């Protein structure tokens, strides 16, 4: 039997970031990054990005992430997923990563934002971008 919980949800159709309480069954999303060196990638998320985590046992860390949004893009292949972290100042974030020894790809300017990618120690990569479009999650105050 599903347990219903109370949580804050965006107001339907709202672009203002307003939230209301509603009964829901789904309370979050769990993302998985497959890696050739999971321990090194876990250290990256813990030590470089500073995300808090819980240990599910045997140093199997599960990380808390910032608020998220989901976009569904059309594709002829219909396979694959990408993970991008959003930020308000891409230049500052890439400089902060560089100071920690993380290199990023050249910043690309797109109609929807400025984007770069960082290679994870395990061989994968994650994107980082500064959106120019409205976001579904509230942005932090400066």
Model pTM?
0.73
What pLDDT does 122 receive?
92
Span of 6-10, 51-55, 97-101, 124-128 with lowest mean pLDDT: 6-10
How do residues 40-76 score in pLDDT, each as one tens digit?
999 999 999 999 999 998 889 999 999 998 888 888 8
Higher-pLDDT residue of 4, 128:
128
Report the C-alpha gap between 75 and 86 in whole angstroms: 22
Domain 5-131 has CATH 3.10.180.10: yes
- What is the torsion angle, in degrees rounded to the nearest 10, for the CA atoms of residue 91, residue 119, residue 55 and residue 8? 50
For the chain, give every domain's residue range: 5-131
Q: Calculate mean pLDDT across residues 67-89.
A: 86
What pLDDT does 14 receive?
46
């Amino acid at each position: 039997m599903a347990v219903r919980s109370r949580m804050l949800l965006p107001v339907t159709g709202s672009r203002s970031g307003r939230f209301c309480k509603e009964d829901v069954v789904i309370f979050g999303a769990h993302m998985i990054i497959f890696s050739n060196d999971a321990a090194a990638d876990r250290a990256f998320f813990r030590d470089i990005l500073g995300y808090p985590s819980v240990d599910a046992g045997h140093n199997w860390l599960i990380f808390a992430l910032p608020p998220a949004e989901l976009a569904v893009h059309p594709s002829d292949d219909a396979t694959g997923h990408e993970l991008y972290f959003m930020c308000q100042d891409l230049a500052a974030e890439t400089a902060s990563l560089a100071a920690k020894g993380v290199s990023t790809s050249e910043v690309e300017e797109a109609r929807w934002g400025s984007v770069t990618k960082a290679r994870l120690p395990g061989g994968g990569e994650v994107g980082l971008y500064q959106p120019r479009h409205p976001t579904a999650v509230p942005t932090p105050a400066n």
